[in-house]
């Protein structure tokens, strides 16, 4: 494993035990905030949050999960257990303590597993934004989930034409398909850019990770305060089978539902969400 950072340059790489290299950004000083991106994006999806919290005096860190962005396009290890252990390795590499971990969508699943299993003494609070836990797919124990055929469709579309698939996903992701809304082409292109930076094999495997991983026990095991943020018009991760269940399972939580907000609300409504996250961190 790469030794702890001695001289911080603003970004870098950390090497995992299996040889995968994770790219990260690390700016500022003060209490650390670690950002975990959604599928199939990168650390760049947190630009609005990184700049906001940096200006508030925090140390801000965001990284590309394995298989995504500038990190190694791994063939293996694209699952929640490995994502969480990778996070633990990054935290040790940067020697982070008293950190706030914020995860969006799939990144919320990573945060839940990491905080439940590895966070003792290193995490102060967590934030789940449009997060996937406890489980997205429909099962006998989760009748409100999405049918497996939905995720099979994702896999088929990715294999058939990943560029075309990633061009279309941002439309419901940001609610651009709703009445009165128009497509913000710059946001759409930035989503597409990030998605196409990653590895197709890792992104394919990650669909199973974010949809079929049952994180019920992770949520129950979280011992730090958690802010849950979710839009009630989230077309990607429906609120009824995610945030509302998270609030029943996490021992110490605050639930904030945003009327009309889409899955990509961190970009579309950054000012609102950043302010609420700041209030939670300071509270």
Report the chain (283 residues): mean pLDDT per 10 consecutive residues.
55 96 97 98 98 98 98 96 97 96 98 93 96 97 95 98 98 97 98 98 98 98 98 98 98 98 98 98 96
Q: Is 234 a catalytic residue?
A: yes
Q: Report the C-alpha gap between 62 and 153 in whole angstroms.
A: 30
Tell me the whole-structure pTM to 2 decimals: 0.96
Cα four-point dihedral sign 32, 194, 109, 72: negative
β-pair partners for 231: 258
> What is the secondary structure of 207-219 as a DSSP string?
HHHHHH---HHHH
**pLDDT score at 9:** 78
Q: Report the C-alpha gap between 77 and 20 in whole angstroms.
A: 9
> Which residue is catalytic, options 37, 68, 93, 263?
263
Q: Is 98 a catalytic residue?
A: no
**pLDDT score at 121:** 80
Q: Which residues contact 90 (CB under 8 A, 6 or more apart)?
A: 14, 22, 24, 34, 63
Are 250 and 141 a contacting pair, CB within 8 Å?
no
> Which residue is catalytic, options 44, 234, 241, 242?
234
**pLDDT score at 108:** 98
Q: Is 241 a catalytic residue?
A: no
Are 8 and 28 a contacting pair, CB within 8 Å?
no
> Which residue is catalytic, options 71, 85, 105, 211?
105
């Amino acid at each position: 494993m790469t030794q702890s950072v001695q001289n911080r340059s603003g970004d870098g790489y950390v090497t995992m035990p299996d040889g995968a290299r994770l790219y990260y950004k690390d700016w500022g000083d003060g209490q650390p905030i670690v950002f975990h991106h959604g599928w199939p994006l990168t650390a760049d999806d947190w630009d609005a949050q990184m700049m906001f919290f940096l200006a508030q005096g925090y140390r801000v860190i965001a990284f590309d999960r394995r298989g995504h962005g500038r990190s190694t396009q791994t063939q293996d290890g694209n699952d929640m257990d490995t994502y969480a252990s990778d996070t633990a390795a990054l935290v040790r590499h940067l020697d982070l303590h008293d950190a706030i971990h914020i995860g969006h969508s799939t990144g919320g699943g990573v945060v839940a597993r990491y905080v439940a299993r590895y966070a003792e003494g290193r995490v102060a609070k967590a934030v789940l934004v449009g997060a996937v836990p406890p489980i997205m797919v429909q099962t006998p124990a989760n009748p409100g989930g999405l049918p497996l055929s939905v995720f099979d469709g994702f896999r088929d579309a990715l294999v058939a034409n990943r560029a075309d698939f990633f061009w279309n996903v941002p439309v419901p992701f940001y609610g651009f398909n709703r009445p009165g809304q128009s497509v913000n082409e710059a946001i759409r292109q930035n989503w597409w850019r990030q998605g196409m930076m990653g590895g197709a094999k890792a992104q394919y495997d990650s669909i199973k990770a974010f949809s079929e991983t049952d994180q019920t026990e992770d949520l129950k095991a979280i011992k730090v305060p958690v802010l849950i943020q979710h839009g009630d018009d989230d077309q990607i991760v429906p609120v009824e089978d995610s945030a509302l269940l998270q609030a029943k399972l996490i021992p110490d939580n605050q639930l904030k539902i945003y009327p009309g907000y889409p899955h990509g609300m961190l970009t579309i409504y950054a000012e609102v969400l950043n302010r609420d996250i700041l209030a939670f961190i300071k509270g």
